[in-house]
Amino acid sequence: MRKPIIAGNWKMFKTRDEALFFILKVSEKMPEKEKVDTVVFAQAPLLRCLITRQGEELRIGAQNIFYEDEGAYTGEISGPLLESYNVEYVLIGHSERRQYFHETDEDVNKKIKAAIRNDLLPIVCVGEKLEERENNLTNDVLERQIKNAFKDIPAIEMKDIVIAYEPIWAIGTGKTASAEQADEACGFIRSQIKKLYGPVVSEGIRIQYGGSVKPANIEELISKENIDGALIGGASLDPDQFIEMANAPLKIKKFIK
């Protein structure tokens, strides 16, 4: 049984006071870490103050990492700095990073290597645009992104990596892939990992779904065979909604020992 992982991506939202209010409200209401991994990805300046208040169950993650450990790269954030803050998770390859900052599959690959080098656990995002889905190119896009993202990543490192399937057409649009569409895509991702790394790795790796996930649809989504959790955007900004979604796996039969 794969342990579910529920993550919230705050993107460029929340001031320090708003973030602290959120953490103080939710940290004692997260499910036990032995049963569900819960993560909140916050803006870099918030990391230090949130990590000191994250509690026993919740973990605070970074939204980005640069692929070099140091150097003249103004505005970037390094792996050694994140490690020194006791950050555990880092988000890599989010569609907004690809769209607005022109990150390539090769950049994603280098960032995964930087995360591993600095003992950080990557959540690696993949997903297709609307026109790619409409032209039946979803699997082609996912195959390319996975092959390039994990180039030269050894199997021993893959066991802790999480993949987030986030169809770009469902992010921030209110549109959600149906549970069947999401499960089909996550199943295809798993099949590609099997091709690259074999059945042991593919059956163990956790795959999230991201794209307009909210309390009303999370249980249906994560109950599917190949979906092991959710990467949540807008709905994760509300503490009450995040508490509800973080605890949703406790109601799902496949996650109950």
Instruction: State the binding site for substrate.
Output: 9-11, 172, 212, 233-234
Residue numbers belonging to the annotated binding site: 9-11, 172, 212, 233-234
Going by C-alpha positions, the residue among 226, 211, 202 that lies closest to residue 126 is: 211
Q: Where are the beta strands (DSSP E) in 68-118?
A: 89-92
Write the CA distances from 77 to 1, 57, 72, 129, integer angstroms: 35, 25, 11, 28
SS3 232: strand
Contact 166, 231 (CB under 8 A): yes
Asked if 10 contacts 44 with a C-beta cutoff of 8 angstroms, the reply is no
69 residue type, one letter: D
CA–CA gap between residue 208 and residue 252 (Å, rounded): 15
Going by the DSSP 8-state scheme, the letter that residue 183 receives in this structure is: H
Euclidean distance between CA atoms 115 and 208, whole angstroms: 19
Question: What residues act catalytically?
Answer: 94, 166
